Structure 1
Amino acid sequence: MQKGAKTYTEAKYESSELSRRLYRSASEAARRLEEWLRGASSFGAYVAPEVTQLRARLKDYCERLLFTAPLEYGRQAEELTWRKVYYDVVQHFKATKASMDEESMAELRAHLLSGLGHYHHLLLRVQAEARLDLEAHVDVPLLWTHRGLPRGCRWNQRQPGEDAPSPLPEENQPWARQASHRFLIALGDLARYLSELEDGEFNRWAELSARYYWQALALDPASGMPHNQLGTLASGNTFRAAYHFLRCLQSSQPFEGAQGNLLRLLDKNSSQPAPQIDRCKPSTLFTSSYLRLCEQFYTSSDTSGLQSLCEDCLSQLVSVLEQPEEEASLVFQAAVMAIICTDKLYKSGPHPLSSASAAFTLNMFSHVVATCTRLVSECTLTTPPRRHEQTAAGHSDTDASAVLEQSADPTLPEDTNSAATTNGWVLGTEAEQESSSSSTPPLGSANEDGDVLSAELSRIGLLPTVKVLCDWLLGRADIIGPCTQARTPLWQNLASLFNLLLPFISPAYPVEVALPDSATLFPLPEDICLQGTAALCAAHSKINWELRAEQCDECQLRLVYLVRFGQWLSERPGSGLQFIRGQFQPRVPVLTNGTSSPMPLSNDALGSGEGLGGEDERKRVMRSMAHLWLEQEVRDLEGQLGQAGRQAAPPPFLVPHTQVLCARLVHLRRLVASRRFVLVVPSHVISSLDLLKRESVGARESIRWLEGELRRGSRYVRSQKSHERLSLSPMKYPKRKEKEAWELFQILECCHHLERQCPRGGHPADRPMVTLLVCSGPPGAAGGLPPNAAALARTAGISMEDVETFAAKWLTVNVPRTQPG
């Protein structure tokens, strides 16, 4: 026993010592590479033979370290490989691109191509070492279940005393899966760099890069990094880039740089002149106006002109929907962006913009449903379906029920998994959207007419958008009542669409069955594309993501879900939809010319959109819905705040700490956009940002934003003036070497001047004039504050608050705007 314990201890010590030696060797190789290139002025030095040999040695050390001690040194090895071997080379190329020749570009292209091969090798090796099954997630998985793979058989048949490498321990499985995710993102980045070397606007490398990013997203739907990279890849298409940045910020693990990327994109769109109506396509007009609207919704900025902007977007959406098949991807992305913005506003608390956003999303929902109704009715004009003749082609009733509900053994064929996952990527990329139009028809009838109708329905590209909007409404049942009171045409359009879809559903799928409470539904391509979106969590909780439906069944499953959603909707209190004698009917007809229609409109009238009041009716519904929500939220807000809350007023001056600008810039931008406060940036904070800009992305982002605001002469952002400093005596000052305390005292001196010397302009004497904004967290943690920061601020007579708490408190209260002097 003692000998065995000694052997184990020695083996553990040797493994740890080997890992340390490999890490030291890798660090030394990285240091020598950095020293070699420190004085390089041309790109030729980066591809010199000596440098290439150093990089090869560094890659070898990092790969050995990666699989020797993955949990201890895995992330460091990955970072060294990416940063020193590939990223630095590309950045130097971009910095000296003006002097590049064809030979240098060819050398860079060869270097990037070798990187693709290296990361493919790492991806295969991590599957081999960790025995990962990535089939249906990556293009080239390592198939362990197939014969002809001697390595897997060798491990299984290895003799007990044989000295051979063994797979990674079980506790390394999560690391291996995350490493595969990061390898796919690195492959996408390398392909994106190759696409930037091409002359054409669209090239094969850009498509390959997007494919790698979508595979990384399929491997880890909770990660926001793939969407951030997709947004960067789509920089030429502002609308699609904004869609991906919003998806990144909505994910469970958002990338911190996506916030700045999105705001920079929205600022760029706002600064451009509006496109001329007679010279642009309807889609161009819609995307420009819609991004302006999303900026107001997402940043919770000034609401002036919001009503007219919403009406313009809806009227332009009607023009876009006149070509539904060509613009199906655009409408899908617009609907998802509206859902995300509405969900963000509702989570931030009662706010007037949340009402307007919900009203706009429901109006968009109504227009999309009306267009789908027209398209479905056009399909039925050629050959009317007969539901009693429809049977599942090649399936019995039992088989069809098994397709819709989870079976006891959810194992599916391998080609099914691959096809369904690919569809999830296709739905998210415009480049491959056309392939969905030629998909196999869904479950059809036994006769030829039924097959033709099913094929026509599967080609209606707006039906996935309708399904997504239904998923959103499933989780926002609280807005059904105000929507019914506003007498919106949404209920009539939904009733018409559901009635038209009923004959297409196979008798094997009883529409009276309620939506399940457990995860038993099959995921559709739009569900896979939006997996991980927080706004759709209520609907996605009913999906079993391990299941995959046949491609020919997807359309039928979508129709069944829509009709069962109609059943669920008709049972909600206050709903404007009812299900009577096998038909859907609206409970409350739309007001037309100030009167209420006594009889329900026919399905033909609903499908064609007649009698809805045209442009005037659209504007009336929008105003009515927004007014109802505003009335309710004002009552809720008054009950929460009380009389004291209604009489309170915010301080006019805000002074940010350095860490707030680095880590919480989005909240400062929202506060400035509200035009209720004046942001005063201390000179010491500006100096600290200048020191941090080399190592902090947030510091660089803050500097760019402050420069832009000061350059255009913003009335709500300014820097500290030279005389705006008042001593805190008799408080004892810290020494300069106590960096956190010294910085706090310099900021408090600025706050002290603003509090004591600035004119109050009629404000009460007990009301604070300035608030110091800091980051949340325990004292001395990530906020960059000394442990006694709160006590120091109180002693100096300065109000200090967390920036997130401050923004949540004052951006949801309707207070007069500050007039800066």
Structure 2
Amino acid sequence: MKNGCNDLSEAKVAERNEKAKKLYRYVTDVARRISERTSTCKSIPDLFSTSIEVQRQKLRDNCEKLIFLDPVNFGKKCLELLWRKVYYDTVCTAKKLRETDNENDSYLFTHIICGIGHYHHFISRIQSEFKVNFKDLDYTMLQQDEEGDEVNITPTEELLQFGRSALHSCLIYLGDLSRYQVEIFQSLDPSIAARYYLQAAHMDLSSGMPYNQLGNLYMDKNYNLDSVCYYIQCLGCESPFEGAMGNLTKIFEKNNQFTETLHNSEFASQAEHIQNTISNFLSLVEIWYLGKNDTNIPQRCNTIAHLLKISMDFTKTPLPDINKNHVEYTQAIEEESVNPTHLNANLVHKMVQICLFTMTKMMETDEVKAFACKAFTLALLSQLLQKLLKQIESLGLKNPASKYRSRALRVQEIETVEDEVEGPEEESPAAVEIPDTNGNIDSCDELHFKEVASDGDGDPEKLLNGEKNKKPSKRRRRRRVASSESSDMSNAETESSEVETDESCSEEELSDSTYPSEDDSKSDASDSEGSGDEEVVISKQNGDADNETTNKPSETNGITHAASIQVNKIDSGEKDAELNELGIQNFLLGDNFLASIKLLQDWLYTEKDLILSCGDSGESLFQCVVDLLNILTFHFSPKSNDVSDKSKILKYAKHIAKNLKLEYKSIPLPEDVNLRGSSICKFDKNAAEWQLLDRYRPSQYEENVIRILNFIDFGNHIANIVPRIRFNRSMKIFYFKKLHSPKVNTKVNHKKNREWHNTKKHHEVGSGGLLRRLGRLWLTAQVRDLERSGRQAAAAPALLALDAAALTHHLRKVKQLLRARSFVLLVPTVVLQELDELKREQSAARDAIRWLEVQLRAGSRFLRAQRPAQSRPLPLLKYPRKAPAHVHNFIQILEFCNHFIGDDKNQGGNGDPDNSLPAKSAPLLVLLVGGQPDDEYKEFSLTGAARAAGISVENVGDFYTKWRQTAHKNGKKR
């Protein structure tokens, strides 16, 4: 019976194969006839005549029948043949004929609409027949009405693979047909075609074809910025489209022609200025991405940064009244979408993506040149943060640190008024015009706390902490202080604003903080008690209206009364500005640059060295981060207990933040979804975070609240890295500590001068003592860094050995591990031999060999090949005599690994003779494999041999995922 059943099934398969071959011959014959008839058409009506349409319909029906009859052998061929002969060639021919005859566009329009409907039906049938379930697809499966038609057959892996491939192709074809409608008839919005392309991109993350089509779709939009972004993203995929580089080069050539005609005119309109800015930016990207040599890079970067700074201040052009003239209103919107007149969020987002993709490309080729791209990207982030700060303050969201800033200004105003009352006829140098800081970022950011006196009297830190009942110093000293304040305050136009407060983060920092010591405070108190002049007591640290009291006789009442009037003026000017409810609502609905800032801050998490290298030049960036961190934490953080919020929108935002406080870090946002699978995405393409989108889709309000919470985390991360950013626990604010310039003492100590001249060895001893002190400081810093990073660094091995599968199937992840400079990658000789054998069959092996040659020729310190003596037999192991080649190859890899871990085991298992250091619990070496070792050979177990030898074996994907998560948490370079 079994033999009879097998014979019957084999006969059915043979009959199906023969039928499929006959059908394929018929399909190719029909396609040939359509091609011949299409080439002879002289007009559009001839192209859509009844005879040709009948042939096209035959080709549609028979191709669809053959695809579902034998999808494995003929499915891909028929799908391509159907698209080419029925739709692509027809549209291309119609475009040529339309140049002389555009009165018969209805034929072509109907043909494209029918094609869209046909592929919609085709997608539904693919989902139903092959059980392809793609969650991001916004089409439902075809429901079978008749019960007899439903057959619960589980498709094989080959059918599933073909189904996904066919679905991906159909989405691209739908995008192409929608793009033809946009290009020929201008009847549809490009977003419909973009939706098909993006769904195809999400279905196959390795294919760059959809991004190339998106570049073609957005040609000439936003001055070609969108096209450049999508072409670069296409080239960054694992399987880039072949023509993407040619398309990108054409745009660069076109942009160069426009750049040569640019003239720096001061009377350019907003649209012309935006176009000049983008053109200069694309010329800079061309130099970086194509690896051209240019010695004028710094000047180009400065020019573009200046143009961007001007563009940030542009406002939207007012639109015509939609009720009076709807046509002009529609035309204005279309023109703004194609040629914008201000720097909108889409332009900024595309520029950020281009910078990040270009930086990744340069890191693979030349890290030295990539530093210029990093610096430019960091400058772009600084400008975006300053724009965000201006926008937030214009909405009425107050900075909680502003009331503490105003205290120093209040004392200065009081002192100024006192001097004016005492001598109104004199011109006192203490008279200073205090700019209003409410709602003005330029003035508010630049006001600093200065030293009120060189002797420590009137220390601003005491004022900042709200010390009560402290008597001010003498009037003479006040006059001198006010004059110094006026000279300092005149520099309010600079871009570094610093708030110096008491440092109360931890007990270790208290020793280095700016707190006055007990002796100093006692001496200050004694000085103030002995001053014997009028008093002005400022109380109530919470920033409410302060009450001034006088403890002296009536002779000082006039001065204190005038001071109280001035303080009341300041208090009246410091009332909180009214919240712009509509502006805050639009801000939380997407009227911001938070998505672009989110991408940049995710990148900056891994660039700790770049942040620390900013130094004094990064003061404006760090001060802006501090101000934004204080404002956003005060108004949006769920930990903030501010009960004075009268805004329903802010209460709702805090409610959202409270609900999402546990999982907001792991929710992918739209900017993450659109970059999934690329090298600049926060999450790995197979990370578990993507599954959250199946059960939770955040709204626009929630997305922007998540971005705000992510920025708060980013601000805390920067505060932990930058030593000059401090936190005051009593006030619950961050501040940026100012570094005062050293005072120059012009007095000459003649005695020390004579001693210096008479002593010959003084200079030698002094320099030796200086070097000794510098050496101690350096050692202390090294010990502190080792103590902080000891546990984290020990969690990762120092050496990573690779097999052939890891290099062929996971080359991108291997590149990322090498780029991190945290490991030394080891390549055994037998792996090189395997790659040499595989290069004839697999293109991935050729790519791996090419990459290894480049790295080894460049002398990379983090990639080493096996040397002749680096091999040690495995102890207590009986080698198999007759085993497959892959078993012998794996044994040679294990012997190579045993050469490195043998000495480590002899010293105590972890490299320590006493094996007592907990920081060295991680293995010295880990063998990374592309797949699981094949244990089908019964006489010898590969995994057992590795375990017996003490060699850790891990999959590249698992190791890469764990390492990336650890690196992201610790802020290390990926």
The answer on whether the counterparts of 2:43 and 2:101 sit within 8 Å (CA) in structure 1 is no
- Deviation, 1:359, is 0.7
> SS at the partner of 2:677?
coil
Q: Which residue of 2 aligns with 1:177?
A: 164
Of the candidates 629, 636, 646, which is equivalent to residue 498 of structure 1?
A: 629
Structure 2 counterpart of 1:307, one-letter code: P
- Deviation, 1:310, is 0.8
1:809-820 matches, cutoff 5 A? none
Q: What is the alpha-carbon distance in structure 1 between the residues aligned to residue 840 and residue 133 of structure 2?
A: 44
- Deviation, 1:258, is 1.1
1:214 and 2:230 matched: no
1:556 and 2:710 matched: no
Q: Which residue of 2 aligns with 1:466?
A: 597
Q: Which residue of 1 aligns with 2:268?
A: 279
Q: 1:714-749, CA deviations, whole angstroms, 9 ceiling, x for partnerless residues?
A: xxxxxxxxxxxxxxxxxxxxxxxxxxxxxxxxxxxx
> SS at the partner of 1:252?
coil
- Deviation, 1:529, is 2.7
Residues 566, 178 of structure 1: CA spacing in aligned structure 2 closer, same or farther, 3 A cutoff?
Answer: farther
Structure 2 counterpart of 1:338, one-letter code: C
1:68 and 2:69 matched: yes
The answer on whether the counterparts of 1:475 and 1:538 sit within 8 Å (CA) in structure 2 is no
Q: What is the alpha-carbon distance in structure 1 between the residues aligned to residue 677 and residue 850 of structure 2?
A: 29
Q: Which residue of 2 aligns with 1:347?
A: 364
Q: What is the alpha-carbon distance in structure 1 between the residues aligned to residue 6 and residue 685 of structure 2?
A: 50
Q: Which residue of 1 aligns with 2:690?
A: 545
The answer on whether the counterparts of 1:522 and 1:543 sit within 8 Å (CA) in structure 2 is no
Q: What is the alpha-carbon distance in structure 2 between the residues aligned to residue 517 and residue 383 of structure 1?
A: 26
The answer on whether the counterparts of 2:277 and 2:308 sit within 8 Å (CA) in structure 1 is yes
- Deviation, 1:317, is 0.9
Structure 2 counterpart of 1:544, one-letter code: E
Q: 1:772-800, CA deviations, whole angstroms, 9 ceiling, x for partnerless residues?
A: xxxx99887899xxxxxxxxxxxxxxxxx
Residues 73, 474 of structure 1: CA spacing in aligned structure 2 closer, same or farther, 3 A cutoff?
Answer: farther
Q: Which residue of 1 aligns with 2:678?
A: 533
- Deviation, 1:523, is 1.2
Residues 262, 777 of structure 1: CA spacing in aligned structure 2 closer, same or farther, 3 A cutoff?
Answer: farther
- Deviation, 1:264, is 0.9
Q: Which residue of 1 aligns with 2:10?
A: 9
Structure 2 counterpart of 1:343, one-letter code: T
The answer on whether the counterparts of 1:471 and 1:539 sit within 8 Å (CA) in structure 2 is no
The answer on whether the counterparts of 2:211 and 2:231 sit within 8 Å (CA) in structure 1 is yes
Unaligned runs of 5+ in 1: 144-148, 159-163, 386-447, 599-775, 784-800, 813-821
Residues 10, 488 of structure 1: CA spacing in aligned structure 2 closer, same or farther, 3 A cutoff?
Answer: farther
Q: What is the alpha-carbon distance in structure 2 between the residues aligned to residue 567 and residue 247 of structure 1?
A: 31
Q: Which residue of 1 aligns with 2:27?
A: 26
Rg: which structure is higher? 2
Q: What is the alpha-carbon distance in structure 2 between the residues aligned to residue 342 and residue 21 of structure 1?
A: 54
The answer on whether the counterparts of 1:124 and 1:142 sit within 8 Å (CA) in structure 2 is yes
Q: 1:255-296, CA deviations, whole angstroms, 9 ceiling, x for partnerless residues?
A: 221111111101110112226532342322211111111111
Residues 517, 349 of structure 1: CA spacing in aligned structure 2 closer, same or farther, 3 A cutoff?
Answer: farther
Q: 1:552-584, CA deviations, whole angstroms, 9 ceiling, x for partnerless residues?
A: 422222211111122334444x67655553444
The answer on whether the counterparts of 2:395 and 2:584 sit within 8 Å (CA) in structure 1 is no
- Deviation, 1:362, is 0.3
Residues 465, 205 of structure 1: CA spacing in aligned structure 2 closer, same or farther, 3 A cutoff?
Answer: closer
Structure 1 counterpart of 2:313, one-letter code: E
Of the candidates 234, 258, 272, which is equivalent to residue 244 of structure 2?
A: 258
Q: Which residue of 1 aligns with 2:124?
A: 124
Structure 2 counterpart of 1:501, one-letter code: L
- Structure 1 stretch 494-503 or stretch 561-570: which is displaced more? 561-570
Structure 2 counterpart of 1:367, one-letter code: Q
- Deviation, 1:540, is 7.6
Q: 1:398-431, CA deviations, whole angstroms, 9 ceiling, x for partnerless residues?
A: xxxxxxxxxxxxxxxxxxxxxxxxxxxxxxxxxx
Q: What is the alpha-carbon distance in structure 2 between the residues aligned to residue 543 and residue 566 of structure 1?
A: 26
TM-score of the aligned structures, taking structure 2 as reference length: 0.49
Q: What is the alpha-carbon distance in structure 2 between the residues aligned to residue 780 and residue 379 of structure 1?
A: 64
Structure 1 counterpart of 2:356, one-letter code: I
Q: What is the alpha-carbon distance in structure 2 between the residues aligned to residue 275 and residue 235 of structure 1?
A: 24
Residues 100, 456 of structure 1: CA spacing in aligned structure 2 closer, same or farther, 3 A cutoff?
Answer: closer
Q: What is the alpha-carbon distance in structure 1 between the residues aligned to residue 639 and residue 133 of structure 2?
A: 35
Q: What is the alpha-carbon distance in structure 1 between the residues aligned to residue 262 and residue 855 of structure 2?
A: 31
Structure 2 counterpart of 1:465, one-letter code: S
The answer on whether the counterparts of 2:289 and 2:358 sit within 8 Å (CA) in structure 1 is yes
Q: Which residue of 2 aligns with 1:142?
A: 141
Q: What is the alpha-carbon distance in structure 1 between the residues aligned to residue 671 and residue 251 of structure 2?
A: 26
- Deviation, 1:366, is 0.5
TM-score of the aligned structures, taking structure 1 as reference length: 0.58
Q: What is the alpha-carbon distance in structure 1 between the residues aligned to residue 361 and residue 663 of structure 2?
A: 26
1:160-309 matches, cutoff 5 A? 168-169=155-156, 171-198=158-185, 203-204=187-188, 206-237=190-221, 238-272=224-258, 273-274=261-262, 277=265, 278-281=267-270, 282-309=273-300
The answer on whether the counterparts of 1:470 and 1:565 sit within 8 Å (CA) in structure 2 is yes
Of the candidates 568, 581, 585, which is equivalent to residue 455 of structure 1?
A: 585
The answer on whether the counterparts of 1:383 and 1:449 sit within 8 Å (CA) in structure 2 is no
Q: What is the alpha-carbon distance in structure 2 between the residues aligned to residue 545 and residue 486 of structure 1?
A: 39
Of the candidates 706, 709, 715, which is equivalent to residue 566 of structure 1?
A: 715
1:331 and 2:348 matched: yes
Q: 1:6-48, CA deviations, whole angstroms, 9 ceiling, x for partnerless residues?
A: 2322232233233322222222222232334454455444323
Q: What is the alpha-carbon distance in structure 2 between the residues aligned to residue 335 and residue 78 of structure 1?
A: 38
Q: 1:200-256, CA deviations, whole angstroms, 9 ceiling, x for partnerless residues?
A: 5xx425342223223323434443222211111111221121122122222333222
Structure 2 counterpart of 1:504, one-letter code: H
Residues 350, 218 of structure 1: CA spacing in aligned structure 2 closer, same or farther, 3 A cutoff?
Answer: closer
Q: What is the alpha-carbon distance in structure 1 between the residues aligned to residue 269 and residue 579 of structure 2?
A: 40
1:65-104 matches, cutoff 5 A? 65-103=66-104
The answer on whether the counterparts of 1:567 and 1:579 sit within 8 Å (CA) in structure 2 is no
- Structure 1 stretch 44-53 or stretch 359-368: which is displaced more? 44-53
The answer on whether the counterparts of 2:598 and 2:711 sit within 8 Å (CA) in structure 1 is yes
The answer on whether the counterparts of 1:520 and 1:542 sit within 8 Å (CA) in structure 2 is no
The answer on whether the counterparts of 1:239 and 1:287 sit within 8 Å (CA) in structure 2 is yes
Residues 367, 130 of structure 1: CA spacing in aligned structure 2 closer, same or farther, 3 A cutoff?
Answer: same
Q: What is the alpha-carbon distance in structure 1 between the residues aligned to residue 742 and residue 381 of structure 2?
A: 23
- Deviation, 1:60, is 1.3
Q: What is the alpha-carbon distance in structure 2 between the residues aligned to residue 74 and residue 379 of structure 1?
A: 58
Q: Which residue of 2 aligns with 1:365?
A: 381
Q: 1:643-702, CA deviations, whole angstroms, 9 ceiling, x for partnerless residues?
A: xxxxxxxxxxxxxxxxxxxxxxxxxxxxxxxxxxxxxxxxxxxxxxxxxxxxxxxxxxxx
Q: What is the alpha-carbon distance in structure 2 between the residues aligned to residue 461 and residue 137 of structure 1?
A: 29
The answer on whether the counterparts of 2:665 and 2:710 sit within 8 Å (CA) in structure 1 is no
Q: What is the alpha-carbon distance in structure 2 between the residues aligned to residue 153 and residue 376 of structure 1?
A: 61
Residues 304, 16 of structure 1: CA spacing in aligned structure 2 closer, same or farther, 3 A cutoff?
Answer: same
Q: CA RMSD in A?
A: 4.1
Q: Which residue of 2 aligns with 1:670?
A: none
Q: What is the alpha-carbon distance in structure 2 between the residues aligned to residue 534 and residue 120 of structure 1?
A: 32
Q: What is the alpha-carbon distance in structure 1 between the residues aligned to residue 624 and residue 161 of structure 2?
A: 47
The answer on whether the counterparts of 1:137 and 1:218 sit within 8 Å (CA) in structure 2 is no
Structure 1 counterpart of 2:211, one-letter code: H
Unaligned runs of 5+ in 2: 317-341, 402-577, 642-653, 745-835, 844-848, 861-974
The answer on whether the counterparts of 2:603 and 2:680 sit within 8 Å (CA) in structure 1 is yes
> SS at the partner of 2:293?
coil
The answer on whether the counterparts of 2:677 and 2:684 sit within 8 Å (CA) in structure 1 is no
- Deviation, 1:186, is 0.6
Q: What is the alpha-carbon distance in structure 2 between the residues aligned to residue 380 and residue 303 of structure 1?
A: 46
The answer on whether the counterparts of 2:44 and 2:98 sit within 8 Å (CA) in structure 1 is no
Q: What is the alpha-carbon distance in structure 2 between the residues aligned to residue 524 and residue 597 of structure 1?
A: 51
Structure 2 counterpart of 1:333, one-letter code: K
Structure 2 counterpart of 1:555, one-letter code: N
